Structure 1
Amino acid sequence: MTQADSDNTNAAAARHGFGVDVGGSGIKGGIVDLSTGDLVGDRYKIETPQPATPDAVARTVAEIVAHFDWTGPIGVTLPAVVTNGVARSAANIDKSWIDTDARALFAKAIGNENITVLNDADAAGVAEDKYGGGKGKDGVVVLLTFGTGIGSAVLHNGVLLPNTEFGHMEIGGKEAEHRAASSVKENEGLSYKEWAKEVSKVLETFEALLWPDIFIAGGGISRKSEKWIPHLTNRTPVVPATLLNTAGIVGAALAADNAVASAETDTSAGSVA
């Protein structure tokens, strides 16, 4: 086989997807190699418009997609509960998102009907489970993103239970994220050891309810996991997230690809029937 033949074979084997991660301060997107979870080239980022209304965000997402001349399926994350493509809450984006049909909105703005919309923490969880800290792990995997609040994603053998929102669970008289978000550490001037004590209380509550096989710790503070994970006292193993800033993009692209595969399976089943 010549080098050219080898390159063509590798290109044919590569399966690419596209994801856009909508955040409170920035919206970023990129092409993803779905066989590895790596970005193909650089991501493209634009500041989140203020106010972050549905129309303004949709225009920005469309601009990012156009930057890559992408015409295939697209996954988009939102910092919101999302059911059947409809935003049911709004965190760090305009409250007018609530009850907006996000899937239809993005489809119209982009000119592409193959749109999948999901919660941002769920996207990160899907990505970490397949390519990152949860890769090769069976059973119940729980991703927690520690930032301004606490995002959560729960998967069982690779299948997502969407929109868990465990950061709002009350633990010892406080919401989990008011007790153990990384913003609490900064605002209260806690040491890593002191903060880890609060994180342990949260994890112990979650593991008593879910009996996970592994926790994945995400968010910016996971970059310094060696300073606090060793201080945790809960029973379930905790590993740091590995995808970090690309998790949302990767998870969105994977979700869009899975949606297409599911639709094709349904169509095939219908044809057989």
Structure 2
Amino acid sequence: MEMLGIDIGGSGIKGAPVDLATGEFTRERIRVATPRPAEPEPVAEILARIVDDFGWSGPVGATYPGVVVNGVTRSAANVAKSWIGLDAVKLFDEATGCPVTLLNDADAAGIAEMSHGVGKGQKGTVVMLTLGTGIGSALFTDGVLVPNTEFGHLEIDGHDAETRASAKVREEDDLSWEQWAKRLSDYLAHLEALVTPSLIIVGGGVSKKAAKFVPLIHNVAAPVIPARLFNSAGIVGAAMAAAAAAQAPTARDLTRTA
């Protein structure tokens, strides 16, 4: 079965049809730069363009970089504040002409990684982190998602964690891999003290360079491993969410991966 997934990120909006059985793209991914400022209507126009470019007419899954409750976006850390309280599903439905299922971007990445990546079959408490413009988080217990965690906004030494340890900050502050790994280690140790995970998965585009920083992480008891799906996980998880909603449109249970 094939489903279209679209991942709305702080720097780019990416989409591709996904083979749900394998988690692989069935056609080449489309990427469009996220509008500046990232207001709702211009973002909706890009979603419509991606849908049109693929000639898609069925359900669509989409991610959002913040809290999503029943299709309403409740936070806006790295996009325009006009998203807060917006019925984003209604906006996207109207823009694309397709039924859209919307969920938090890190939750989508986690769903994909727990189904098709290194988290598959993992029991206990698993934390998935997406390191990019900010830090997204997804929390699972025995394969079941606890949606809309915002662990990237934990306060450490008076700072929002993602303002010190995101991949974007590493680039903007020209940090060495060692310097960034130190900040990341402090963040992970703090997170570990709160939720005691049995596994920490690090994703996002920077996970392709995991060999440069994962071995430098210290003072963290849980295994820290790079995501297998890298930066494709959000698209895959969005497609999976759309398929789940299509099968159970009244329940809209997008939390279970196993």
> Quick one: distance in 2 between partners of 1:158 and 1:264?
22
Matches of residues 35-184 of structure 1 in structure 2 within 5 Å?
35-112=21-98, 114-184=99-169
Q: Would you tell me which structure has more helix in proportion to its own residues?
A: 1
> Quick one: distance in 1 between partners of 2:149 and 2:113?
16
1:129–1:141 contact (8 Å) kept in structure 2: no
The runs of at least 4 consecutive aligned structure 1 residues that moved more than 4 Å come to none
> Quick one: distance in 2 between partners of 1:249 and 1:109?
19
Within the candidate set 204, 208, 212, 1:227 is matched to 212
Query: Where in structure 1 are there 5+ consecutive unaligned residues?
Result: 1-14, 267-273
Confirm whether residue 17 of structure 1 aligns to residue 3 of structure 2: yes
Within the candidate set 214, 237, 257, 1:251 is matched to 237
Shift of 1:209: 1.5
Which secondary structure state, in structure 2, belongs to the residue aligned with residue 121 of structure 1? helix
Which secondary structure state, in structure 1, belongs to the residue aligned with residue 248 of structure 2? helix
Which secondary structure state, in structure 2, belongs to the residue aligned with residue 20 of structure 1? strand
In the alignment, which residue of structure 2 is the partner of 1:205?
190
Structure 1 pair 184/65, CA: closer, same or farther in 2 (3 Å)?
Answer: closer
> After superposition, what is the alpha-carbon deviation per residue over 1:24-82, rounded to whole angstroms, capped at 9, x for unaligned?
33222111001110000111223333443222221221121122222222111112211
Query: Where in structure 2 are there 5+ consecutive unaligned residues?
Result: 253-258
Q: AA paired with 1:178?
A: T
Which secondary structure state, in structure 2, belongs to the residue aligned with residue 64 of structure 1? helix
Structure 1 pair 84/172, CA: closer, same or farther in 2 (3 Å)?
Answer: same
Which secondary structure state, in structure 2, belongs to the residue aligned with residue 263 of structure 1? coil
Q: TM-score, normalised by structure 1?
A: 0.85
2:11–2:133 contact (8 Å) kept in structure 1: no
Q: TM-score, normalised by structure 2?
A: 0.89
> Quick one: distance in 1 between partners of 2:126 and 2:214?
17
Larger Rg computed on CA atoms: 1
Which secondary structure state, in structure 2, belongs to the residue aligned with residue 116 of structure 1? strand
Confirm whether residue 214 of structure 1 aligns to residue 199 of structure 2: yes
> Quick one: distance in 1 between partners of 2:173 and 2:65?
25
Shift of 1:254: 0.6
Shift of 1:265: 7.4
